[in-house]
A and B are shown apart, each in its own frame.
Chain A
């Protein structure tokens, strides 16, 4: 009897993960669901960026960001409002639907009074002193389908919400080098398809940084994160983005996504 029990238990243990895995959506399904989430055609919002170094010294930037879809093409522009030493700095990116076409990016530095074209290949570089990379700023809460292969490795509760855990690996070494990660593990909310937690592993397979997405609320019917935090375990530096005045409905002029608008500022 005891022998039967052990056999049954072993069988159950062997079968369970299969059953468990079968009930979970695949990594690609989850990624597609993330990217299918309604983001609105356009959005404007205030973003306060708080950057804190390992000694607790803080820098705070108040910005206004705009994003708009032009068909499948996504255009984003961020204008810095305060403090004085970065005021009127602006960053703009055109993200094309065709992944084989490089994004176009521009940076306006008020001291130069010029809009400078910048390479979009440095997408793994950190964005203007934050702990988010240019790629993460561009993607916001979406994921880059073509850069990673992914698999679902389980589920967990994060901040009281059921999440699927997916592990993404860059498709090749070159992509890994560009992005700056060898692995990305995400906890995706099973209901609203938004990452609540993400862990990034460095190219040297070290724990690099962890991000949390919090204060997720519906704004005008669209699930919206109001707080993003990231802690860089390597440097001890951390960044917090607080979103407010989120508006998906007020139309945004196409002209805002131009070099001349960057020069002029808000």
Chain B
């Protein structure tokens, strides 16, 4: 019997679903469950517009079903309602099953099947290897990564081999970054992100070309982790679609003049990376590096046929934490991204350098925590400062007061949002 690739896809998908269903049924039978819900409200007030930017209520129900046979089923939902409706102007409400996965063990190996988040990397606030899951950019990078990361349907196996753990990932889920768009407050406008067209050229957006073959377009990944002579080390490989579409451009002369037809298309890339961390006295050194073989960068060169230049990219973060004072953490990171085949017409710089500084002080037996995160881009002298105080009122309720302060020129990644500077207060209760 022979099958076409499409038939094989259907058979494999059915087998995956059937196996998953069988495992769920097995788990649910003779199981204990624990349920919880987190209810929160966040109010953000724009200091420039002098008006409420966001008044968002969030419900996060979570169900965990444990069987006595080393199986656990987890379902995490999220319902959000923003009464102000400026962050995402088209949707004031969104409800989704964020995560839904089954964990089991086979011998010493862990197997996690279902919609889940995979977090690689050691950096805080910046991403080099934490790219297995796409990200929701509705609030730029202001949302917690745990909430902005988009969980994907994934087969995730962690197999110990002597002192090394091999993690294998198969991700037959073609979901990519979700960007703010149109009049949304955090829509990218910086020419570092959006290619510019010469005067007189009209932009025409074509339909997005998305990979649509569940099996052939699946992402694959592998990670080796080990603890060696005091070092936590990982070696990572990801064969994936870049979650940011490449904006292919085609110029044509029409009766209305020159038109640039832009077609967003997703492209594959190989990512090879490593992470490391170790502690030396009061210091902890940590870092990660990733080399992407195929990166497609937009160019402003009007003579370029498709408006795209292919290059490779090396990105790395090196961070140092210092905990010399009691209950205090001071941390700094250097992030750099370098392109191998740089052209001056590219929309971004050949080298991008960002520094971060984090200071955190815990008080009153860790019921109060004061934090300052400062991210500064050296290329455009723009950045973001995020002071924050959290207070754990009791085991259920926590309060947060903070601010998100963008600065710098509009051309910069951070400076483009300085009109959105805001103060924030939030309350969250977990039951």
Contacts and interface: CB of A to CB of B under 8 A. Distances in A.
Contacts of B121: 114
Contact of B279 (A105, A128, A130): A105
A113 B284 contact: no
Nearest to B321: A119
B108 A255 contact: yes
A122 B323 contact: yes
B96 interface: no
A82 B280 CA distance: 32
A113 B147 CA distance: 11
Contacts of B122: 114
B277 A60 contact: no
Contact of B364 (A53, A83, A113): A53
B281 interface: yes
Interface in B382-412: 392, 394-396, 398
A131 B279 contact: no
A107 B110 CA distance: 20
Interface residues of A, number: 40
Contacts of B431: 84
A60 B395 CA distance: 7
A255 B158 CA distance: 12
Given A117-B278, A118-B284, A126 B367 contact: no
Contacts of A51: 365
Given A119-B284, A255-B108, A83 B430 contact: yes
Contacts of A129: 365-367
Contact of A117 (B144, B279, B366): B279
Interface in B263-296: 277-284, 286
Nearest to A84: B430
A116 to B, nearest CB: 8
B378 interface: no
Nearest to B286: A117
Interface in B318-362: 321, 323-324, 326-327
12 contacts: A84-B38, A84-B430, A113-B145, A114-B122, A119-B281, A119-B284, A121-B282, A129-B366, A131-B365, A237-B365, A258-B160, A259-B225
Q: Which are the 5 A-B pairs with shortest beta-carbon distances? A: A84-B430, A129-B366, A117-B277, A113-B119, A83-B395
Given A51-B365, A113-B146, A124-B326, 14 more contacts: A84-B36, A84-B430, A102-B279, A105-B279, A111-B146, A117-B277, A119-B279, A121-B281, A121-B282, A125-B323, A126-B365, A130-B365, A253-B108, A260-B158
Interface of A: 51, 53, 57, 59-60, 83-85, 87, 102, 104-106, 111-115, 117-122, 124-126, 128-131, 180, 235, 237, 253, 255, 258-260, 264
Interface of B: 36, 38, 103, 108, 110, 117, 119, 121-122, 144-146, 158, 160, 165, 225, 227, 230, 232, 277-284, 286, 321, 323-324, 326-327, 364-367, 392, 394-396, 398, 430-431
